[in-house]
Amino acid sequence: MSEFKQRSAALQERISDMEQTLATLKGQLQTEEEREQHAAIDRLEEYLGDLDNKHANLQDFWKILRGEVSGIFSKSSSKTRGDT
């Protein structure tokens, strides 16, 4: 075999090895990205649960606040009419 053919064959073998390594790395990257996406989805579900809880707490707060303010104004209007 000539020197050119030997060098060419050696380069082709190295290229083939590098392509195989690259394909393996791409597969690992895809696996990691999928794992991260699943983790992000799990965190999203937790976040949405927390958000629902905070929303319910805020609704309860507004009900209490509305009752308090309504009570204050009804007492104030009773005093102005002399209904004490």
Residues 66, 74: Cα–Cα separation, whole Å: 12
Listed in sequence order, the residues at least 6 apart from 1 whose beta carbon sits closer than 8 Å to its beta carbon are 9
pLDDT of residue 55: 92
Placement of tokens 């104030």 in the chain:
76
Residue holding tokens 């895809």? 30
What is the distance between the terminal CA atoms of the chain, rounded to a whole angstrom?
116
Asked if residue 45 lies in contact with residue 39, where contact means CB atoms within 8 angstroms, the answer is: no
Does the global pTM surpass 0.85?
Answer: no
pLDDT at res. 72:
85
What integer pLDDT is reported at residue 71 of this predicted model?
84
| pLDDT lower than 50: segments of the chain | 84
- Per-residue model confidence as pLDDT tens digits over 3-19: 999 999 999 999 999 99
